[in-house]
Amino acid sequence: MKTMVCFVLGKRNKKIEEKVLSFGFDVVFIKEVSKIEEITKQETKDYNAILIKTENVEMLRRIIDKAANYFDIFVLGTNDKINRAALEHKKVKALVSPEYNRKFDYTSYRNSGMNHVLCKIARNNDKTIIENFSEFLAREKKDRATWLGRILQNARLCKKYKAKFIVTQFVKGDEIDNMVDSRKLNDFFRILS
């Protein structure tokens, strides 16, 4: 079994790192940003990567251009335009939760934030689609079925079009005790595959 990665939303901390390692994960400290002013070169010692959360494509591109020299870049899938821009940009490493901001499904298919075109772009540009298991667990029980349906659709699309797809956790530093261990997360990923 290969080692899975857990993304910790917060500054690098030795105590948190040891706890995450004890759950069977490698750890990446990540900062969530939505404005270009939130990125500084001095933070490279505190974070390994950034997670960009914006609904504006132009702001996304400006943040990527500023941060690309210092951090690995992940983009939260807030809408269809952001999803496509992230997968087409050469400096973005992965698209996180493409179904993140979806309110309603369509009559004949799930509104999962992915389609065959985006999967082909992800494959051709060597991008990874990351599903955030913590976001799934944070949903109310009545919403989990819909959320799971969207995740399943994305997993099937990625498998069909040979795009990279993984399931992991994004946890806040003060919520480490609520983590799921790597074996359970790996079991969930195998069910999706």
Task: Report the length, in residues, of the chain.
Answer: 193
Give bridge partners of residue 72 from the DSSP assignment: 49
CA–CA separation, 16 and 173 (whole Å): 7
28-40 residue pLDDT tens: 999 999 999 998 8
Q: How confident is the model at residue 2 (pLDDT cuts 50, 70, 90)?
A: low
Q: How confident is the model at residue 174 (pLDDT cuts 50, 70, 90)?
A: confident
Radius of gyration of the chain (CA): 16
Please state the pTM of the whole predicted model: 0.91
Q: Find the domain containing 10 and state its range.
A: 4-192
The number of distinct structural domains making up the chain is 1
CA angle 137, 168, 10 (to 5 degrees): 85
- One-letter identity of residue 46: D
Contact 164/119 with Cβ under 8 angstroms? no
Residue 66 has pLDDT above 90, yes or no: yes
**Residue 165: per-residue pLDDT:** 95
SS3 content of the chain, % helix, strand, coil (to 5): 45, 20, 35
Report the chain's mean pLDDT, rounded to a whole number: 90
Strand spans (E) along 41-157? 49-52, 72-76, 94-96, 128-132
Return the SS3 of 110: coil
Task: Yes or no: say if 64 and 89 are a contact pair by the CB < 8 Å rule.
Answer: yes
**If pLDDT is split at 50, 70 and 90, which confidence band does 1 have?**
very low
pLDDT band at residue 188 using 50, 70 and 90 as cut-offs: confident
Read off the CATH number of the domain in which 180 is found. 3.20.20.140
Give the span between the Cα atoms of 55 and 108, in whole angstroms. Answer: 26
